Amino acid sequence: MPGTVVMKFGGTSVADAERIKRAAQRIVAKREQGMRVVVVLSARGKTTDELIAWAQEISSSPDPREMDMLLSTGERQSCALAAMAINDLGHRAISLTGSQAGIVTDTSHTKARILEVRADRIRQGLDEGAIVLVAGFQGVSTSHDVTTLGRGGSDTTAVALAAAIDADECEIYTDVAGVFSADPRIVSDARKLPVVSFEEMLEMSASGAGVLQLRSVEYARNHGVRIHCRSSFDDATGTVVVGEEVTVENPLITAVTHSTGEARVTLTGVPDTPGVAGRVTTALADANVNVDMIVQNEPVSEGSRADLSFTVPRDDLLTARAALAAIAEELGMTVRANESMGKVSVVGAGMKTHPGVAAKVFTVLGEAGINIEMISTSPIRISCVVPGEQVPTAVRALHAAFELSGPDTIRPEQPFGEFAS
């Protein structure tokens, strides 16, 4: 039985005819190694953004079902064009929509979750010797409507297909060479990581590393899918994401991640009665605002009032303020916000057994003159909210202090476009 691979190409890798042809050559080369090949494609370049702009011209709040019908067309176009290019290279390719590929989702339009993959048609195509191209980012709901999986959903499509057809590997091709010990745009000697565990990758994706979508990593962990993040511009090995039992060593710290799009909201004059924090977070959840860190200061004396601070994505700040207006007035609280916050995190599976990491992080940031505003931790991550303009300094200081640079240091000619933070 020959090996099976899923290859996923992002939007920049299929942005124009030249790149589509290059991807086609890469796909055909894999097929000619004797592999059974399934390919997942994103929409070309800025297509999704253009479609969203069209919808906004029509409606200020486009119907989600129709938004999915609209957005799902971009990936179908990429697949059809890539299939034409592969056919021209003398191999048979067929493109399938998410629906045709058997990707069944729930009915949550614009952010659907995959429930099941009925991969019969993909298997049939592979058995007939064809290269099977599947439109990423989409599926068909249990009520037979077209759904999309949310931004970056093509990664999840690729991982879900790899699980369904029991592929040896899910290759994610982007315009960066793999997962790095920090954003190479900030840390010039950041190291390409050969292996990262699912747990580390989850923490990294959640704390700002843009190279893999968080849900795709969760899906891969839950189904044991080996991910290989690599460059679509060369043949070098990238970063393999695998289960912790496979990684040979657990470094103390694997990477420093960051994000800059954070806003901090502070409620002052919070009454010292049970349930206030619950009411605040419920109001935010109802408005679909994703709250990250929450810190509540205990009141200094009996009967006095406390402060409650939390961070939200900066784009959600207006929504958050609107959601809190009524409850703030009712309880006599004041709402303040700081829009230019950032977050820096250190992630490492070895941290679990080394209690001194947090202390070192705080010391390093303090010595670099950085004011830590909020802190949150997981067993393998320590995150600090810091002023937005100090994020690069913080990332460099932590990367140096934990000695993360190394032999796999990025080459200067590497493009960084897709390493979104």
By the criterion CB under 8 A, which residues form the site for a second copy?
16-17, 20-21, 51, 54-55, 57-59, 62-63, 65-67, 69-70, 72-73, 76-77, 79-81, 83-85, 87-88, 93-95, 97, 100, 121, 144, 146
Nearer to a second copy, 51 or 372 (CB): 51
Nearer to a second copy, 30 or 109 (CB): 109
What 47-52 contacts at long range (C-beta under 8 Å, 24+ apart), as own/partner pairs, is: 47/11, 47/74, 47/77, 47/78, 48/11, 48/74
Nearer to a second copy, 30 or 76 (CB): 76
Nearer to a second copy, 93 or 117 (CB): 93
CB of 316 to a second copy, least distance (A): 23
CA angle 222/224/229 to nearest 5° reads 105
| Composition of the chain by helix, strand, coil, percent to 5 | 35, 25, 35
Residues 6 or more apart whose CB falls under 8 angstroms from that of 356 comprise none
CB of 12 to a second copy, least distance (A): 17
DSSP state of 190: -
CB of 132 to a second copy, least distance (A): 13
CB of 33 to a second copy, least distance (A): 23
DSSP state of 44: -
DSSP result, 153-186: HHHHHHHHHHHHTT-SEEEEEESSSS-BSS-TTT
CB of 60 to a second copy, least distance (A): 8
Residue ranges with strand state E in 118-254: 131-135, 138-141, 146-148, 169-174, 195-197, 227-231, 239-242
Nearer to a second copy, 69 or 287 (CB): 69
- 9: nearest Cα among 26, 30, 31, 34: 26
Nearer to a second copy, 66 or 106 (CB): 66
CB of 325 to a second copy, least distance (A): 26
CB of 288 to a second copy, least distance (A): 19
Nearer to a second copy, 47 or 309 (CB): 47
CB of 16 to a second copy, least distance (A): 8
- Nearest-angstrom CA–CA distance, 268 and 270: 6
Name the one residue in this structure whose structure tokens are 């959903």: 153
Nearer to a second copy, 232 or 254 (CB): 232
- Phi, psi (degrees; rounded to nearest 5) at 64: -60, -40
